[in-house]
């Protein structure tokens, strides 16, 4: 039976019958186009941002978590910061900021050229919708490899997460990105030594097979063909697709809160300089406009803004 979903911007889980290993495949193109509509990035920055978006989609899919999974960087060179975010397991957004006067990295194919370890940071964050019921989390990721997938793999290994292998790819224009992730699951509580030894051997075999994947295959083969090519001798089962989309989490309420933090005096002074005040979302370009009536209502509202309509 064929799957009636689009060939890009989707994520598939897969599993192996009787083997404690799970995996995911993801490919993005429309999401990357939408993320770069209001900003034009060089191809190498597009590649990095696309791979970051693919990564957070994969990570979010493994979590029972109401909120956002974010991968973000800060640096002092040409690439000032990046942010890729997946909310509600399906909604992606991302952004990059470049420092115009800074020189271009010499080795633009290397992550450490864009984010030198001595002056940059990379972090993975969990931002819950309700911080009262679940605490936020942030883990700092050492920048010790030239590829993003290798950096993230090393982080999972060092932080004692599930054993994980990750493969990421982007086309040369940076307009398409794909990823393959496999993880070894814990042994069952009642597993025998023989069962545990067998599972370890199966994990080693799956790792070896997955390591043969090429960037071209990740970007061109559909998941059915890719998994058949990699794991044709194993009982590999492909699960239904999760469709992904670009969706910004900006709202009128968040824009209101931005002005409220400035205080009434500063906002009224700003209104004298520019009427109406316009607050633009840096991710999607959505514009929120405030004239004198809007500003008066904003500061007279006793309980604060409550319009959480997402664009």
Taking every pair of Cα atoms in the chain, the longest distance, rounded to a whole number of angstroms, is 77
Q: What is the mean pLDDT of residues 92-119?
A: 92
Model pLDDT, residue 7? 62
Is the pLDDT at 302 greater than 70, yes or no? no
pLDDT of residue 311: 55
pLDDT at 213: 98
Q: Which distant-in-sequence residues (6+ apart) come within 8 Å of 70 by Cβ? A: 56, 83, 84, 85, 86, 124, 125, 126, 127
Q: State the pairing for strand pair 91-98/245-246.
A: parallel
pTM listed for this prediction: 0.87
Q: How far apart are CA 157 and CA 35, in angstroms?
A: 30
């Amino acid at each position: 039976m064929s799957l009636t979903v689009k060939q890009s911007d989707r994520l598939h889980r897969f599993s192996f019958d009787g083997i404690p290993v799970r995996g995911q495949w993801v490919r993005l193109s429309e999401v990357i186009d939408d993320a770069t509509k209001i900003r034009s990035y060089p191809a190498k920055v597009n590649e990095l941002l696309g791979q970051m978006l693919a990564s957070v989609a994969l990570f979010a899919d493994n979590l029972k978590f109401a909120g956002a999974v974010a991968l973000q960087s800060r640096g002092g060179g040409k690439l000032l910061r990046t942010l890729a975010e997946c909310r509600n397991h399906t909604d992606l957004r991302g952004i990059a900021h470049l420092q115009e006067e800074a020189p271009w990295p010499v080795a633009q194919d290397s992550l450490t050229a864009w984010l030198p370890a001595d002056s940059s940071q990379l972090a993975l964050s969990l931002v819950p919708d309700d911080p009262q019921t679940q605490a936020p989390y942030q883990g700092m990721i050492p920048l010790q490899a030239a590829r993003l997938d290798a950096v993230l793999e090393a982080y999972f290994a060092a932080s004692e997460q599930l054993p994980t292998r990750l493969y990421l790819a982007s086309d040369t224009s940076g307009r398409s990105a794909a990823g393959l992730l496999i993880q070894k699951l814990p042994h069952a509580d009642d597993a025998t030594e023989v069962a545990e030894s067998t599972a370890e051997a199966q994990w080693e075999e799956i790792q070896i097979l997955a390591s043969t994947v090429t960037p071209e295959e990740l970007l061109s083969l559909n998941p059915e063909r890719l998994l058949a090519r990699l794991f044709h001798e194993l009982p590999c089962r492909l699960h239904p697709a999760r469709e992904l989309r670009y969706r910004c989490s900006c709202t009128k309420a968040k824009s209101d809160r931005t002005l409220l933090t400035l205080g009434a005096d500063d906002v009224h002074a700003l209104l004298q300089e520019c009427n109406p005040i316009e607050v633009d979302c840096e991710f999607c370009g959505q514009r929120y406009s405030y004239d004198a009536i809007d500003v008066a209502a904003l500061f007279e509202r006793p309980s604060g803004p409550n319009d959480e309509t997402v664009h």
